[in-house]
Structure 1
Amino acid sequence: MIQNETGASQRPWKIENEQPSLPEAHRSVAFPSNGSWFRKFLAFAGPGYLVAVGYMDPGNWATDIEGGSRFGYALLSVILISNLMAVLLQALSGKLGIVTGKDLAQACRDSYSKPVVIMLWLLCELAIAATDLAEVIGAAIALNLLFGLPIIYGVLITAVDVLLILLLQHKGFRVLEIFVVVLIATIGICFGVDLFLAKPNMSEVAQGYAPSLKILSNPEMLYIAIGIIGATVMPHNLYLHSSIVQTRKYEQTPAGKRQAIKYATWDSTIALTFALFINSAILIVSAATFHHAGLTQVADISEAYHMLTPIVGTTLASVMFAIALLASGQNSTLTGTLAGQIVMEGFVNIRLTPWLRRLITRLIAIIPAVIVTAIYGERGTQDLLIFSQVILSLQLPFAVIPLVKFTSSKTKMGEFANKLWINMLAWFVAGIIVLLNIYLLVQTIAS
């Protein structure tokens, strides 16, 4: 054991012969030691976009739509604040992976007792299954809206995307990143068209980004605001980011790691800015159409799709909405697969072939979706989508607290440990997220 400044024992990283995180892609992308800063930035650009996918998945859509329809642009400030929280936490996650050479799951395994590690693993697997459930339902709803395909058939069709993922993984990690960026661009273009058609009041939009105390004084507004924060910060993204930054072949020296941290932070911050635009666009479109028309009870995705056309005056708005939803569901599937592999290998060192891992994860999501759809119909899938976000809220503290704890430790991070002001801010953000998610969970169960 190593003694810290206060005399308390701190456990350093274990020295053991273990495979690196995502061994098939580890240090597979070249990173130039010389050259312009722009060339280095481009070499590191990519992981942040895989992370950003989780911040715009179908699980976020319902809260953004409801927030816009009920309260107009007022909750844009909440989207902005939650995005800033995500920027900080993802920067810490990337730094952990770069400095230690371990992902967050491996760090937990090396620092906690076996029972604690097993508990953390099971909670994380549950959260990933919940994430996949939201993606399955979102993609199925999109197929239903675009082609009239029954929800239950759409759920079953989503099982075959395992073939696409395996194909992309064999082509190399860069190909996977490019595919994700293309889908993000598709979502952005679709909502850019919807924003143009919705014609929002830009002065009111700008005012919406200014924090307001009325959110705290209005219980209904506060509840939706907490839902937006709870649906935004995704626990599996913290495991994912700490792993995929290690796909870059940066120099394993203090100077090399410091440079890698800088470009990884730029990458994730820029990518999360795109996520901020898309989440804001969902709420702005909802506010400019439904709230402006006096329709303040629009709360689910299908209802929003069907109401857009008569309000905006063209079917293009609804079509763009559904295409963006389908791209969002497929994009999130890719990152959910990687996160599942990372936590299983990192926590308990179980290694499965990619197709088997993907099949297991997808079946866990598809089975409840099929059962609920068969019994309760489309309304049941909307309730299941909300329930999946509650499960994610349960897992979030168990990812955020270890991340902040590890990156704050000089024993584990050395000279790269968080500075005092970053440490204070990180613990403040962690405390807010934990308290708000507990409140959301209690209120959801009560209702």
Structure 2
Amino acid sequence: MQAGAQYKYELLWIILLASCASFVIQSLAANLGVVTGKHLAEQCRSEYPKVPNFMLWIIAEIAVVACDIPEGINTSLLFCYLIGTAFALNMLFSMPVWIGVPLTGLSTMVLLKIQKYGVRKLEFLIAILVFTMAISFFVELHYSKPDPGEILHGLFVPQLKGNGATGLAISLLGAMVMPHNLFLHSALVLSRNIPRSTTGIKKACRFYLIESGLALMVAFLINVSVISVSGAVCNAPNLSPEDRANCENLDLNKASFLLRNVLGKWSSKLFAIALLASGQSSTITGTYAGQYIMQGFLDLKLKPWLRNLLTRCLAIIPSLIVSLIGGSAGAGKLIIIASMILSFELPFALVPLLKFTSCKTKMGSHVNSIWITALTWIIGLLIMGINIYYIVTSFIKLLLHSHMKLVAVIFCGIIGFAGIAIYLASIAYLVLRKNREATPLVETLPRQDIVNMQSDVTL
């Protein structure tokens, strides 16, 4: 919404790029779990030495905290925030944001307990509410009448104009290609009963490819409509002074005015209800991701309720502090900052995934083809290039425009560039390090042949 309000349709190409990247990357994550029988965190634990593995765990936990604040429902990415749920409670019941944050965590714990009695019903209810919001934006898209030519231009002509465009583009990337999704997606496929044969594995990989494609197509349409609506409404020539003020400082408390043409006075209530439901769904997703990450990297045998409590506390504490200090405005800024953190941390999940799925000894006959390998590395390098460009240029601008004394500027510059060097060196380590030699998976044999082979070996 902020991308549309500030830059109209100029950042739509980021949505297209991120959707394509998510499609390729999520399919690789699913393939890794299906073929190897281990999710990404478990593969990292068995692949890397203790110190790098521990550091990757810390980075993954930070990513869970960051994505639990502005996280979308898996791939739909529509207004699903831990803070967003607090905003919804504020809009529905005039409840302060700082009270809504801990209530969100408690309600998530309750839902995690209740869902074992009917998780499909809970998912169906949330899906209805989210798609109600999606339909509202599709109808609003008709009322706002954006220029189709400008939308196509924004989709296929990359541009980053303005001081904040690069930062907002990185936030969009981080909010759509989320590190926790790679760990979660590679783990969720393990809950299915997949035949351990070449045909069975290929069918499963094809199924998850189609599933991701359909979900991301819906996500793409929703995100394009949201940006197009906010771009058309906030850049209309006959915009009222009140709406113009809302567009200049757009946050979740004010965003319901975008649906006023469709829903009238009920726009804020429906927006809040859908926001509340999707926020709950996203925090459940974040909880599951935290469980898989903690279990995979550390192999901790904690009870589920304790893992849930740890994950919730890690997400709630920073949100609560910011909402207490900065209110709704500070919480809104935290959403963008958290999304940027996700983008910066993406290489630490993406690079291991690309290396594992391109490894013959791990994937056997299901290893990435040369074309897929080249495409995924190009995507990864583009994302890393945008991140590095933004970090370096922003830090240089910060130093040049600071009012500190020269000695302080030099000192901060040394520390800052040392941190950037460590960041680059860490990524280079993951890229250049050779995979360990592993025993090839016996996934090309039917289950009975594997049993017979094991019997022969025993004899």
Q: TM-score, normalised by structure 2?
A: 0.76
Supply the AA of the counterpart residue of 1:212. Answer: V
Q: Does 1:251 align with 2:195?
A: yes
Q: 1:206 to 1:385 in 2, by over 3 A?
A: closer
**1:145 counterpart = 2:95:** no
Choose from 158, 166, 169 the match for 2:113.
Answer: 166
1:129 aligns with 2:61: no
Kept in 2, the 8 Å contact 1:68–1:286? The answer is yes
- How far 1:201 moved relative to its partner? 2.4
SS across alignment from 2:32 = helix
Aligned-partner Cα distance in 2 for 1:410–1:225: 35
Among 405, 428, 431, the residue aligned to 2:355: 405
- Give the corresponding residue for 1:36: none
Moved more, 129-138 or 336-345: 129-138
Residues 409-420 of structure 1: pairs in structure 2 closer than 5 A: 409-420=359-370
> 1:155–1:369: 8 Å Cα contact kept in structure 2?
yes
- Among 396, 421, 428, the residue aligned to 2:346: 396
Q: Residue 359 of structure 1: which of 306, 309, 314 is its match?
A: 309
Residue 154 and residue 216 in structure 1: after superposition, are their counterparts in 2 closer, same or farther (change >3 A)?
closer
1:193 and 2:136 correspond: yes
Q: What is the CA–CA distance in structure 2 between the aligned matches of 1:280 and 1:316, rounded to whole Å?
A: 23
1:387-431 deviation digits (Å, cap 9, x = unpaired): 322332232110000000110111211111101110000000011
CA distance in 2, matches of 1:386, 1:441: 15
CA drift at 1:235: 0.2
Q: In structure 1, the residue corresponding to 2:212 is in which secondary structure? A: helix
Q: How far apart are the structure 2 equivalents of 1:415 and 1:393?
A: 32
Report the counterpart of residue 258 of structure 2 in structure 1. 308
* 8 A contact 1:80–1:209 mirrored in 2: no
Whole-Å Cα distance in 2 between the matches of residues 444 and 139 of structure 1?
A: 31
Q: Which of 268, 273, 287 does residue 337 from structure 1 map onto?
A: 287
Paired letter, 1:166: K
Among candidates 15, 20, 24, match of residue 84 of structure 1: 20
Query: Structure 1 pair 254/177, CA: closer, same or farther in 2 (3 Å)?
Result: farther
**Which one-letter code corresponds to 2:93 in the other structure?**
F
Output the CA distance in 2 between the equivalents of 1:270 and 1:226.
24
Deviation at 1:271, TM superposition (A): 1.3
- 1:74-119, Cα deviation, whole Å (9 max, x unpaired): 3222212210100000000000000000000011111111111110
- Whichever residue aligns with residue 300 of structure 1, its letter is D
Unpaired segments ≥5 residues, structure 2 = 71-80, 399-459
Q: Which amino acid aligns with 2:299?
A: N
Cα separation, partners in 2 of 1:230 and 1:136, compared to 1, 3 Å: closer
Decide whether the 8 Å contact of 1:197 with 1:317 is kept in 2.
no
Contact 2:33 2:186 in 1 (8 A): yes
2:228 maps to which of 243, 264, 284 = 284
The 5-angstrom pairing of residues 19-418 of structure 1 reads: 65-134=1-70, 135-160=81-106, 161-168=108-115, 170-171=116-117, 175-176=118-119, 179-180=122-123, 182-198=125-141, 199-201=143-145, 203-204=148-149, 206-208=151-153, 210-213=155-158, 215-216=159-160, 220-293=164-237, 295=244, 297-305=248-256, 307-308=257-258, 314-418=264-368
Q: Which amino acid aligns with 1:196?
A: V
CA contact (8 A) 2:36 2:363 kept: yes
When structure 1 is superposed on structure 2, of 328-337 and 431-440 the one drifting more is 431-440
Change (3 A) 1:388 1:71: closer
Cα 1:319–1:398 change in 2 (3 A) is same
Mapped to 2, the partners of 1:317 and 1:269 lie a distance apart of 31
> What is the CA-CA distance between 1:221 and the residue it aligns to?
3.6
In structure 2, relative to structure 1, the CA distance for the partners of 1:373 and 1:424 (3 Å cut) is same
How many correspondences in the alignment? 377
Cα distance between partner residues in 2 of 1:427 and 1:86: 13
Asked whether the equivalents of residues 103 and 242 of structure 1 are also in contact (C-alpha less than 8 Å), the reply is yes
- Aligned in 2, Cα 1:315/1:205: closer, same or farther, shift over 3 Å? farther
Assess, with a 3 A threshold, how the Cα gap between structure 1 residues 339 and 257 changes in structure 2: closer, same or farther: same
Q: Structure 1: how far apart are the matches of 2:162 and 2:364?
A: 45
Counterpart for residue 10 of structure 1: none
> Amino acid of the residue matched to residue 256 of structure 1?
G
Q: 1:290·1:298 contact (CA, 8 Å) conserved in 2?
A: no
Question: Is the 8 Å Cα contact of residues 289 and 311 (structure 1) preserved in structure 2?
Answer: no
> Aligned partners of 1:309, 1:270: CA distance in 2, in Å?
26
Shift in alpha-carbon separation, 1:316–1:196, aligned structure 2, 3 A: farther
Counterparts of 1:115 and 1:139, CA distance in 2: 37
2:452 alignment counterpart = none
The answer to whether the Cα contact below 8 Å between 2:174 and 2:341 also exists between their aligned partners in 1 is no
Q: Please report the RMSD computed on the Cα atoms of aligned residues, expressed in angstroms.
A: 2.3
TM-score (norm 1): 0.78
CA contact 1:129–1:365 (8 Å) conserved in 2: yes
The CA deviation at 1:222 is 4.1
Q: Is the 8 A contact 2:26 2:185 kept in 1?
A: yes
Whole-angstrom CA distance in 2 between matches of 1:221 and 1:277? 22
Give, in angstroms, the shift of residue 310 of structure 1.
6.3
Sequence identity percentage? 37
Letter in 2 for 1:201: K
Q: For structure 1, list consecutive stretches of 5 or more residues without a partner in the other structure.
A: 1-64
